[in-house]
Amino acid sequence: MANSSGTIAAEPAPITLDWSKTALVIIDMQRDFMEPGGFGETLGNDVSQLARAVQPIATVLAAVRDAGLLVVHTREGHLPDLSDAPPAKVERGAPSLRIGDPGPMGRILIRGEAGHDIIPELYPLESEIVIDKPGKGAFYATEFGDILQKYGIENLLVCGVTTEVCVNTTVREANDRGYRCVVISDGCASYFPEFHEMGLKMIKAQGGIFGWVTDSAAVLEALAA
């Protein structure tokens, strides 16, 4: 790690982070959300809307790996027996396939299936942490909070999909637990561009009510400074 801290240009204000207390958190960059035939598409979504986040995340991930920051990947999904999937979630709506049904990438949103895995472009290294979560937030029913405490993490650089669902839920959970969350705007995406825009606005409004919003270029600049 070249410098121990860096200042990221962000809204509503720049923020200085101690890199040793900062983790990159990549939310749910799984085939189930990103590719045709997965959970996202079964809900009726156009999965091509999410592709734009991949390259910005890849550039930040490479820089963060070089700088030696902690990297955490999350995956939304359920046990094969669905014991961690609330009926209220499984029965929701009228998807073309439900959670646990067989699909072209294996059973929909089930741990261990091809569709549940992280896309090749952002695949975790052996040394990186992968959190399997049954909900939208990364803290609920996971070891995420304990791991962040163990590593002395106080700040989260957050990216992934989708902006208004799992990214926002995780940022809200983290904010209430005292973490400073800096969300990387071009490293997030939504099936609904207007929800992406508003999801980011909600985070940075009111003096940064949930956190800060930056972009991948600003993170790279701060890490290189």
Nearer to ligand TIU, 6 or 38 (CB): 38
Residues paired with residue 132 on neighbouring β-strands, in sequence order? 75
Nearer to ligand TIU, 44 or 68 (CB): 44
Specify the residue for token string 């910005």: 56
Please state, in angstroms and rounded to a whole number, the distance separating the CA atoms of residues 85 and 116. 15
18 is catalytic: no
Task: Find the farthest-apart pair of alpha carbons in the chain and give their distance in angstroms, rounded.
Answer: 51
Specify the residue for token string 């070089």: 66
Q: Which of the residues 21, 117, 133, 181 is marked catalytic?
A: 133
Nearer to ligand TIU, 19 or 33 (CB): 33
Nearer to ligand TIU, 35 or 76 (CB): 76
- Closest contact distance (angstroms) between CB of 193 and ligand TIU is 13
User: Closest Cα to residue 52, out of 159, 135, 212?
Assistant: 159
Please state, in angstroms and rounded to a whole number, the distance separating the CA atoms of residues 54 and 100. 26
- Closest contact distance (angstroms) between CB of 146 and ligand TIU is 21
188 is catalytic: no
Helix (H) or strand (E) holding 28, with range, is none
32 is catalytic: no
- Closest contact distance (angstroms) between CB of 136 and ligand TIU is 6
- 85-to-7, 99, 116, 145, 178 alpha-carbon distances in Å: 41, 9, 15, 21, 28
Residues in the site for ligand TIU, rule: CB under 6 A?
28, 33, 40, 43, 76, 136, 161-162, 165-166, 191
- Closest contact distance (angstroms) between CB of 170 and ligand TIU is 9
Which active-site residues does the annotation give? 28, 133, 166
